[in-house]
Structure formats: C-alpha cells, structure tokens
C-alpha cells in the first residue's frame, strides 16, 4: 500500500489539540515494509479505557497500549497472570493479594521517559484514582469510570495498599466472587504513577488520558481524529519485542469502503466485517476469515421511565412484534444466534431453559388494544457505527421499524453518533435504544451489573433506567459465594426476573469476525475483544530489528 504512510505526518493530535512529537529514527515510507493496517469503524474520546464504556478504546487499543494485573485466556477462558505473577484469595473472597512481575518497563515516548520499572505504586495509583473521590486525579477529565461505577466498585473496595514494592493488597467491604474477573478486563488497565507525578508538577494532568503511557506492546505515535491512529512497537516490552515495528489503525472509511480497501490491499485486517460481505470474503483466495463465539449481546432497551413503556405488559406486547428470524437472515447471515437471555450462551450461568420471545404480531395487536395502548409513536435511538454485536445497526433499526408498523406502532429512527453518544443515549426523552454490550470476561456479573443494576443508571450504562432492588439483591447474593453452584442458582433467579420484567429484549449474540490478507500471520481473535498485536507478522516480509 505505497503512498499511505507519507500521509501520516509525525504530529500527535491529542483529544484537546495538537502537540509536536519527535520523529522516530529511520521512518518507513511503506507500511508493508514495517507493519500492517488494521481497518475498524470507531472513534476515540479518551485513550484511557478506565474512562470508557466500550468501543474502540476498550475493544482494540487497550490491549496494545496497556497491561492488566490478570488476563483471560482466549482459548480456555481461565484467569492467567499478566502484571501479577500470582495472587491469593483471602478472607473468603474479601481480600485479594497480588505479587507483581518484576522488571516490566513502561513505554518511552516523546512526552515521557520513565526512570523506573513498573511496581506497586502504579497499581495503587491506577485504582485509587478510580475508587477514591478525594484522590487528586479522580475528577481529571470528567471523573467518570463507567464500567467501575456501574459495579459500585469504589463502594466495595475498602482499600488498595502497597505492602512492598512488588506486592499489592485489595481489601473489600464484603466478599465479591467476581472481583478477579473485573480486574482482568481491559477497563482495569494499569497506568504509570511516575508519569502522573510529572504531569501534576507541570499542571498538565489532562494529558494522562490523551497522551498515554503504558506497559503494553505498542505505544502511541500519531493520531488524527476520525482518520487514523499510528502505533509504534515498545522495544522493551516485557514479553519480548513485538514482531511488527508499527500498526496503523485506519478509522477513515466505513461500510463497503473498508471492504474495498481490504480487497485492494490498502487494509491488511478488517475488523467486524458486515455479515453480508462474508461470501465475497470467503471466495477471495487472497483473504482469510476467522470466526469465534463472542461474549456479546445485541438488545433493544426500553426506557422504563416513560409511559407506557413503564408497564411490563406493554413491553411484552411490543416484543411479540419482533421477527427474530428475519433479523438473523438479513443482518447476521448465519453469524449469530437469536438471544433468549442477556447472557450469551458461552457464559457458564446461561439459563438453558430460556426461550426466545415468540413472533406473533396478531397477539401483539390484541394485547396493546386490551391495555388501551393505541396509535403509539416511539423514538428509536440507534448508534450508527457497526460493532461486534451488530454489524448493521441502522438496517436492523429499519427492520424493527417495519415490524412495529404491522401492529400499528409508529417508530421514528434517531441516529446517534459522535463524541456525546453515551450521554444522548442516557437522555430521559428517548423511548427505545438499539444497542449492545461485549464483556472482557466469562463472568455473568460483567453483563448484569453494568447493564441493568440501579448503579448503572448513574454510570450511564443502563439505558433502560430500570432499577429493581430485588434484582440488585440477587446479584449481590451471587457475589458473596465462592461456590459456582450457588452463584448459578442466584443468576438463574436474576434471569427469571428479567424475563418477567423485560426491561431489555435480547436480540442476538454474534460471532466475532476478522477478515485479513493471506500473508498476515499470528493474529489472535478473542471472544472478549481484540488481543495483542505483538505476535502479528507477514510471512513474506523480512523482520526488522528495533
């Protein structure tokens, strides 16, 4: 793809403006000589995944820029060490002690040169910022940590303290069996306390989340909003030098434009291709296609604060109008299964007795008439960008609009995009939201609390505004036990409450898809999001030493 890299001016455009970055030695003129292009639809509001509720920052960038204490093995779904070499669970799940890996180096960038290796101070800083509202860094860049806020993480963590340079201990106010799994998500990325101290001394605290410094395999080199992100490999990465010197994440083209660029070789990897494009991708001998079950769910959220949607009977009646089979055929083309629960089938707490809502427009009309609900007009808010759980949100919205029209309900589609998407989706004026969720772990708590707990309303991840104390209590009971059978029993109760109340209508659980050029090797597709690009290489290219 000659001619692409010269467009990548060595200027770092941060989220608040532009700063000059030093040029790397011997800049390459052709991405094919030194890296690959990863094409994905998305935008960046912050490079700090702690302050994100999903999207590109969490799904793609976090695995490249940062590390966590733990990670989830993409093949076995088990917790494995990352920055923590080992850990201990004490006090029946109320205390967690982590023994940290030594010699892990932070990235050296044009804006920061570390003077020491990773240690316990970095872990304490990263989590104290999240949980402690009196911490000097808590409110920098907004003070929102949506994932952790939805879990009431700060309320349950009594303390996080350094026992020595290589040991950190978390004390909880009550046992939480899901705690380790939440620390293995990309939301729990570890930042540099030394970098934070430097920025504080310069009164430039906001740069921590805009000019990132982590311990991950790649570091930020260039960024142009809505165009591209250029990553350069971290030569002192603790797992070994990444095989590719650079990665360009192309944000500039969507839909069929991205497919065209893959076919012409301008893109090496296409993330989340539309399911309708699979025939083209499979038939092209220059391409490979990877598919894996995903820990994700697409769903329709009812705003339960607004009449008549505050009535569960109305929500059930509307659900009868949705033609699930048509959604599977027209949106997913065999790459998803109709969802019967907010939990994907891959979750160990999935209720095998759950049933997909039947499609019965006649019954829907009769029930609405019996409820005195006629001539109903609703707004359906739809994020426009494709996601792992929904490759064609606007097309799906149009199908739902047609389904509702058959029962006399008029739907107005409101596309939502841009920087303030999350805030708009939480606006109390909307009626319905077509959205979804992907989790970084196999623990069901990663779905239930962020999407449907009372606390998740305040954290702006619960688009239904549904708050049910009985449901919240069941979730808390599930967290108090380290016994899997007990937790499964409580989560079965939670799913029965959801089936009765129906604040959300689960629609589909999608496979994770990646299409890529035939010469790309070492690309791992994870059910939990994008994996590290450290092992990616071209089989026909001579590797370049750092």
Taking only the tens place, the pLDDT of each residue in 339-385 is: 999 999 888 999 988 889 999 999 999 999 999 998 999 999 998 88
Region 224-245: mean pLDDT is 95
Which pLDDT belongs to residue 253? Answer: 65
Q: Which two tokens stand for residue 154?
A: 């700060």
Higher pLDDT, 503 or 55: 503
For the domain 1-44+56-63+216-286+518-546, what is the CATH code?
3.40.190.10
Give Cβ neighbours of residue 541 (< 8 Å, ≥ 6 apart): 32, 33, 519
Rounded to two decimals, the pTM is 0.84
Phi-psi region of 410 (alpha: psi -120 to 50; beta: other; left: phi over 0): beta
Q: How far apart are CA 275 and CA 333, in angstroms?
A: 6
Q: What is the pLDDT confidence band of residue 22, given thresholds at 50, 70 and 90?
A: very low
State the span(s) of the chain assigned CATH 3.90.76.10.
Answer: 67-214
Quote the pLDDT of residue 139: 96
Q: Which residues have CB under 8 Å from 259's CB, separation 6+?
A: 270, 273, 274, 277, 280, 281
Buried b (16+ CB within 10 A) or exposed e, 153-192: bbebbeebebeeebbbbbbbeebbbbbbbbbbbbbbbbbb
Three-state SS at 446:
helix
* Interval 109-116 mean pLDDT: 98
Condensed to tens digits (0 to 9), the pLDDT of residues 248-264 reads 999 876 656 888 899 99
Q: What is the DSSP string of 259-270?
A: HHHHHHTS-SEE
- d(Cα 291, Cα 211) in Å, to the nearest integer? 33
Q: Where in the chain is the domain with CATH 3.40.190.10?
A: 1-44+56-63+216-286+518-546
Residue 338: what pLDDT?
A: 93
Rounded Cα distance between 400 and 402, Å, is 5
Question: Across residues 450-479, what is the average pLDDT?
Answer: 93
According to CATH, what is the number of the domain 67-214? 3.90.76.10
- Cβ neighbors of 500 (< 8 A, separation 6 or more) are 312
The answer to which of 12-16, 237-241, 335-339, 455-459 has the lowest mean pLDDT is: 12-16
**Hey, is 469 helix, strand or coil?**
helix
CATH number belonging to the domain at 296-510, selected among 3.10.105.10, 3.40.1190.20, 3.40.50.720, 3.60.70.12: 3.10.105.10
Task: Please classify residue 441 by burial: count the beta carbons closer than 10 Å to its beta carbon, then call 0-12 exposed, 13-18 middle and 19+ buried.
Answer: buried
Q: Which helix (H) or strand (E) holds 420?
A: none
Distance of alpha carbon 247 from its chain centroid, rounded? 20
């Amino acid at each position: 793809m000659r001619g692409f890299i010269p467009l990548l001016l060595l200027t770092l455009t941060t989220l608040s403006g532009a700063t000059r970055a030093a040029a790397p030695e011997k800049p390459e003129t052709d991405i094919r000589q030194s890296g690959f292009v990863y094409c994905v639809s998305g935008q960046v509001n912050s490079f700090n995944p702690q302050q994100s509720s999903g999207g590109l920052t969490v799904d793609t960038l976090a695995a490249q820029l940062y590390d966590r204490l733990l990670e989830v093995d993409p093949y076995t779904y088990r917790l494995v060490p990352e920055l923590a070499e080992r850990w201990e669970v004490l006090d029946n799940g109320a205390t967690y002690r982590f023994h940290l890996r030594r010699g892990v180096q932070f990235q050296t960038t044009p804006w920061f040169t570390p003077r020491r290796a990773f240690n316990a101070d970095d872990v304490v800083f990263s989590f104290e910022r999240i949980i402690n509202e009196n911490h000097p860094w808590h409110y920098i860049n907004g003070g929102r940590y949506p994932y952790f806020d939805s879990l009431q993480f700060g309320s349950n963590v009594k303390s996080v303290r350094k026992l020595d340079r290589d040991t950190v201990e978390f004390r909880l106010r009550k046992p939480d069996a899901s705690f380790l799994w939440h620390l293995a998500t990309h939301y729990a990325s570890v930042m540099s306390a030394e970098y934070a101290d430097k920025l504080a001394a310069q009164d430039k605290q906001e740069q921590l989340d805009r000019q990132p410094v982590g311990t991950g395999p790649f570091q930020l080199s260039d960024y142009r909003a809505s165009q591209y992100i250029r990553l350069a490999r971290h030569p002192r990465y603790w797992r070994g030098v990444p095989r590719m010197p650079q990665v360009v994440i192309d944000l500039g083209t969507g839909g069929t434009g991205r497919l065209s660029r893959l076919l012409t070789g301008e893109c090496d990897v296409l993330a989340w291709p539309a399911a309708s494009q699979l025939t083209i991708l499979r038939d092209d001998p220059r391409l490979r296609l990877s598919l894996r079950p995903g820990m994700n769910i697409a769903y329709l959220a009812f705003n339960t604060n607004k009449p008549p949607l505050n009535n569960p009977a109305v929500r059930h009646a509307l659900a009868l109008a949705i033609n699930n089979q048509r959604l599977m055929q027209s949106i997913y083309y065999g790459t998803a299964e109709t969802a019967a629960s907010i939990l994907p089938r891959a979750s160990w707490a999935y209720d095998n007795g759950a049933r997909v809502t039947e499609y019965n427009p006649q019954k829907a009309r009769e029930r609405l008439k019996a409820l005195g609900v006629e001539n109903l007009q609703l707004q359906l808010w739809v994020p426009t960008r494709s996601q792992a759980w929904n490759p064609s949100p606007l097309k799906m919205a149009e199908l739902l609009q047609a389904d509702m029209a058959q029962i006399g309900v008029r739907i107005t589609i409101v596309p939502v995009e841009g920087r303030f998407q999350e805030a708009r989706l939480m606006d109390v004026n909307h009626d319905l939201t077509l959205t979804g969720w992907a989790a970084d772990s196999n623990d069901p708590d990663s779905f239930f609390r962020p999407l449907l707990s009372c606390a998740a309303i305040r954290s702006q991840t619960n688009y239904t505004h549904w708050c049910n104390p009985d449901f919240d209590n069941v979730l808390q009971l599930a967290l108090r036990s380290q016994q899997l059978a007990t937790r499964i029993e409580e989560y079965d109760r939670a799913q029965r409450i959801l089936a009765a109340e129906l604040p959300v209508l689960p629609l589909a659980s999608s496979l994770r898809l990646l299409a890529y050029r035939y010469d790309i090797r070492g690309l791992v597709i994870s059910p939990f999001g994008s994996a590290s690009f450290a092992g990616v290489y071209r089989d026909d290219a001579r590797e370049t030493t750092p």
